[in-house]
Amino acid sequence: MNLKIYDPKDFPAYLPKLNTLYDDLFSGGKGFRAKLIKMVGDQIALDPKSEHLLAQTIEFIHNASLLHDDLVDRSNLRRGKTAAWLRFTPEYAVLAGDYLLARVMVNLSGHGNIRLVQYTAEIISDLLEGEWLQDSLVGDFGLDLSQLDRVHNLKTASLFKWCLRAPFIAQERYEPGLHTGLEEAGTLLGQLFQRGDDLLDFDVRNNEGKAVLGDLKSGYMNSFAAFATSEMPAEKRAVLKECKTVADFALAIGGPDKFAAKLAEFDQKNEFLIQLYQHHLKNLKSYLKPEEMKLIDKLLPLTELLYWRRV
Amino acid sequence: MREFKTLSKTDPEFLAYLRGTFSSSLRALPVKSLNVSTPGETVTFEIVPVKDIQRPGALKLWAQVFRLRNFIYVLFPLYLILTKNIFDEVEFDPILAILSGFGALFVTLGAFLLNDYYDHMKGVDRIHPESGSQAIQKGWVTAGATKSWAVVYLGFGLLLGLPSIWVFPELLPMVSVPAFVAFLAWISPRLGLKYKRFAEIVVFLLFGPLLTVGYQTAIGAGFDIEALWIGILTGWHFVFLVQLKNFESVMVNSQAGFENTMSYLGFERGRRALEVIWFAFIALMAGYQWVYHSKDWFLGFVILPVIFSLGFLISLRRLKSPVGSRIREVMRMGRVGALLTLILWTLQTLFYWLVIETLA
């Protein structure tokens, strides 16, 4: 499935640099969100055209957020390559992100389901609110996990919720119980993905070889940092920014044993979320048709991948 | 493996789970939801055996359930009214003073418990899990039991107030206001009355003029303007504390569609409003000191509260996020400044006690 093109008008060739920028952006990504759409769409027999549209929509929104996010965070690298704002210009990066969001609205409105357009616009708005809030938290080393959860719910989980709900909306299935369950399951999946991702920053289950302590060095407390330092006095937390390695961080919170204990506690806390996710999925059965039941089996093991990072 | 249960409002078991009456050996603890715009349509409970619930020691548990800390907002105005009458040598009935004082305390206790109950039933405590006494959220007590105690304490409070109402029937209109408020809270369809804009006017009246003037009347000291002044000050002080809390939750309240002045004003205008409310309190306090005390006290009550709140006011201006640790810290500074001002006021009354002792 070519996620870049849904409509022939998607990327006009006469615009300089536009196609180069997008080709660069779309290569190297795992396209997990599009795969999630396909997983849901296939199980509920969503028509291929709608499935293509939804898969493109989520990748466009996600990539638009990356273009803007890298510029806001002044990140030099994206997927191991020079970030778009550095390779091209900040102006092009902003415009390219805006263009993706505009294409989302053009293509979605062509589908004709106004509820889908409205829900997608809400999600984009949530995503931007999350980005805005996250930026306002840079340098706040006293953050706690519950506050961070609210930001991650807007910034990260919103897209996961969309992936689960949008295929049903595209089929004009609007049962409130179904959507409440999907909303809760999507929230938990997004939260678990974010927490798993935050652990990579501390070189935990970092099979992808992601650079470590990136968040902390840029003055941002991620979920594990907030959890692990929750008992530290405020004045001690301020020195966390000086940590150069994970070993420095472990030492700052009380040594390697303390780090291991906090990690075990964090995993246990997230195991609760995993069980809650499984509960919400099982509850969805009453809203699915008999031939759609496999969807639950497909969604259940996702936490293995997204939190535990087991492929 | 943990056990969860999700129920919708239309489910026949819904209320039994929410009230905690579905089982005597199990508790249903509502699970926090981040999807704040849809409170209460369905609720997911974690089912936990009562024996597995960790409770604090009895003293801490009851102090938390009854929120003893909040009693200061009732006790302090009553203390001010009593001392004022003693210093001014106004005659009052000590028996009625004790009865109606305890009556006010029990009514407040009942109202706080009822507040916890309705927050739980209306889903507010799933959106603000850190709110209220935490006793219901953590499974220490059931919502049903909380409501029963609330009714008992409210009834007991009213009973203790009856002698004063019997002797001074002019109290009846003042008692009927809280009763009317309770009725409004009862019939409020989605969230409590406190999540309506301008609910702070009700808060101001209940913890301010109605309390002080009501008590002044109940003890047989008769209406006077100073009691009204004191009520305006204590009510305004309480409103400031409520606004600090509402400002701290401005993001979540706005997302959840809770209507209060802070969610209406938003982050930028909200912090200006906090400054205005605080300076208005200092101005009212200064006015009170000018009229009823001396110029020295007037100066003290202008300068010291400003000093007490300087850190708060500066940090409030520097605040850049509606979430995070800083907003909590700044609001804590605001509460400390407000508390120090109450301590200053208490010291003033102690100074007068000392003068009376010396003169005697």
Q: Closest Cα of chain A to B67: distance in Å?
A: 23
DSSP annotation string for chain A: --SS-SSTTSS-TTSTTHHHHHHHHHTT---HHHHHHHHHHHHTT--HHHHHHHHHHHHHHHHHHHHHHHHHHT--EETTEE-HHHHS-HHHHHHHHHHHHHHHHHHHHHHT-HHHHHHHHHHHHHHHHHHHHHHHTTT-TT--HHHHHHHHIIIIIHHHHHHHHHHHHHTT---HHHHHHHHHHHHHHHHHHHHHHHHHTTTSS-TT-PPTTHHHHTT---HHHHHHTTTS-HHHHGGGGG--SHHHHHHHHT-HHHHHHHHHHHHHHHHHHHHHHHHHHHHHGGGS-GGGTHHHHHHTTHHHHHTS---
C-beta of residue B21 within 8 angstroms of C-beta of residue B144: yes
Report the chain A residue with the minimal C-alpha distance to residue B322: A133
Cβ contact, residue pair A133, B251, below 8 Å:
yes
Q: Closest Cα of chain B to A151: distance in Å?
A: 9
Cβ contact, residue pair B326, A142, below 8 Å:
yes
Domain A18-306, second-level architecture = Orthogonal Bundle (1.10)
The C-alpha atoms of residue B279 and residue B319 are separated, in whole angstroms, by 19
Q: Does B44 touch chain A (CB under 8 A)?
A: yes
Pairs from A101-105 (Cβ < 8 Å, separation ≥ 24): A101/A60, A101/A61, A101/A64, A103/A7, A103/A10, A103/A60, A104/A57, A104/A60, A104/A61, A104/A64
Cβ contact, residue pair B326, A184, below 8 Å:
no
Q: Does B11 touch chain A (CB under 8 A)?
A: no
**Among the partner residues A144, A183, A272, nearest to B2 by beta-carbon distance:** A272
Report the chain A residue with the minimal C-alpha distance to residue B10: A177
Report the chain A residue with the minimal C-alpha distance to residue B47: A276
Q: Which of A311, A306, A230, A310 is nearest to A266 (CA)?
A: A230
The C-alpha atoms of residue A107 and residue A6 are separated, in whole angstroms, by 8
Q: Which sign does the torsion angle of CA B164, B166, B172, B178 carry?
A: positive
Between strands A77-78 and A81-82, the pairing is antiparallel
C-beta of residue A246 within 8 angstroms of C-beta of residue A200: no
ipTM of the complex: 0.85
HSE-CB of A301 using CA atoms within 13 angstroms: 6
Contacts of A30 (CB under 8 A, 6+ apart): none
Cβ contact, residue pair B324, A147, below 8 Å:
yes
DSSP tag of B294: -
First vs last C-alpha separation in chain A: 22
Instruction: Report chain A's C-alpha Rg in angstroms.
Output: 20
Cβ contact, residue pair B323, A272, below 8 Å:
no
Mutate to test the interface with B, among A123, A184, A229 (most CBs of B within 10 A): A184
Cβ contact, residue pair B323, A144, below 8 Å:
no
pLDDT digits (tens, 9 = 90+) for A292-304: 999 999 999 999 9
Cβ contact, residue pair A157, B33, below 8 Å:
no
Q: Which residues in chain A touch residue B38, judged by CB atoms under 8 angstroms apart?
A: 180, 183
Q: pLDDT tens track of chain A, all 311 residues?
A: 777 777 777 778 788 788 888 888 877 778 899 999 999 999 999 999 999 999 999 999 999 999 998 888 888 877 778 888 888 889 999 999 999 999 999 999 999 999 999 999 999 999 999 999 998 998 899 898 998 999 999 999 999 999 999 999 999 999 998 999 999 999 999 999 999 999 999 999 998 888 889 888 888 899 999 999 998 887 788 888 888 999 999 999 999 999 999 999 999 999 999 999 999 999 999 999 999 999 999 999 999 999 999 87
Residue A208: is it exposed, middle or buried by C-beta count within 10 angstroms (0-12/13-18/19+)?
exposed
Q: Which residues in chain A touch residue B2, judged by CB atoms under 8 angstroms apart?
A: 272, 275-276
C-beta of residue B235 within 8 angstroms of C-beta of residue B208: yes
Q: Does A123 touch chain B (CB under 8 A)?
A: no
Mutate to test the interface with A, among B7, B34, B318 (most CBs of A within 10 A): B34
Helical ranges in chain B per DSSP H: 14-19, 58-65, 72-87, 94-121, 124-127, 143-167, 172-187, 199-206, 209-218, 225-248, 250-256, 261-292, 295-318, 325-359
Q: Does B321 touch chain A (CB under 8 A)?
A: yes
pLDDT of residue A219: 87
- Give Cα separations from B5 to A112, A301, B38, B45, B46 (angstroms): 37, 21, 18, 5, 7
Mutate to test the interface with A, among B1, B2, B6, B332 (most CBs of A within 10 A): B6
As averages over each run of 10 residues, the pLDDT of chain B (360 residues) reads 89 92 92 66 90 88 83 93 92 95 93 87 80 84 93 94 92 80 65 68 89 94 93 96 94 86 94 97 96 91 95 96 93 97 95 81
Q: List the structure tokens of A248.
A: 């420095």
HSE-CB of A285 using CA atoms within 13 angstroms: 11
Q: Which sign does the torsion angle of CA A186, A189, A195, A201 carry?
A: negative
pLDDT of residue B57: 87
Q: List the structure tokens of B300.
A: 């003290």
Cβ contact, residue pair B321, A153, below 8 Å:
no
Q: Which residues in chain A touch residue B4, judged by CB atoms under 8 angstroms apart?
A: 275-276, 279
The C-alpha atoms of residue B7 and residue B40 are separated, in whole angstroms, by 10
Task: Kindly list the strands in the beta sheet with B26-30, ordered across the sheet, starting from the edge strand earlier in the chain.
Answer: B3-8, B42-49, B26-30
Instruction: Report chain B's C-alpha Rg in angstroms.
Output: 22
Q: Does B324 touch chain A (CB under 8 A)?
A: yes
C-beta of residue A221 within 8 angstroms of C-beta of residue A253: no
Q: Which of B85, B73, B120 is nearest to B238 (CA)?
A: B73
Torsion of CA B188, B190, B196, B201, to 10 degrees: 30
Q: Does A268 touch chain B (CB under 8 A)?
A: no
Q: Does B31 touch chain A (CB under 8 A)?
A: yes
Cβ contact, residue pair A234, B325, below 8 Å:
yes
The C-alpha atoms of residue B115 and residue B113 are separated, in whole angstroms, by 5
Q: Closest Cα of chain B to A12: distance in Å?
A: 39
The C-alpha atoms of residue A54 and residue B200 are separated, in whole angstroms, by 46
**Among the partner residues B4, B8, B252, nearest to A279 by beta-carbon distance:** B4
C-beta of residue B14 within 8 angstroms of C-beta of residue B5: no
Report the chain A residue with the minimal C-alpha distance to residue B319: A136
Q: List the structure tokens of A27.
A: 């290569």
pLDDT of residue B289: 95
pLDDT of residue B39: 46
Cβ contact, residue pair A153, B34, below 8 Å:
yes
Torsion of CA B15, B17, B23, B24, to 10 degrees: -90
Q: Closest Cα of chain B to A11: distance in Å?
A: 36
Mutate to test the interface with B, among A126, A136, A162 (most CBs of B within 10 A): A136
Torsion of CA A191, A197, A200, A206, to 10 degrees: 110
Q: Does B129 touch chain A (CB under 8 A)?
A: yes
DSSP tag of B32: P
The C-alpha atoms of residue A129 and residue A120 are separated, in whole angstroms, by 14
Q: List the structure tokens of B167.
A: 């002797």
Contacts of A71 (CB under 8 A, 6+ apart): A83, A85, A90, A93, A94
Q: Does A98 touch chain B (CB under 8 A)?
A: no
Cβ contact, residue pair A141, B325, below 8 Å:
yes
Q: Which residues in chain A touch residue B329, judged by CB atoms under 8 angstroms apart?
A: 142, 234
Residue A242: is it exposed, middle or buried by C-beta count within 10 angstroms (0-12/13-18/19+)?
exposed
The C-alpha atoms of residue A223 and residue A90 are separated, in whole angstroms, by 29
The C-alpha atoms of residue B209 and residue A246 are separated, in whole angstroms, by 58
C-beta of residue A183 within 8 angstroms of C-beta of residue B33: no
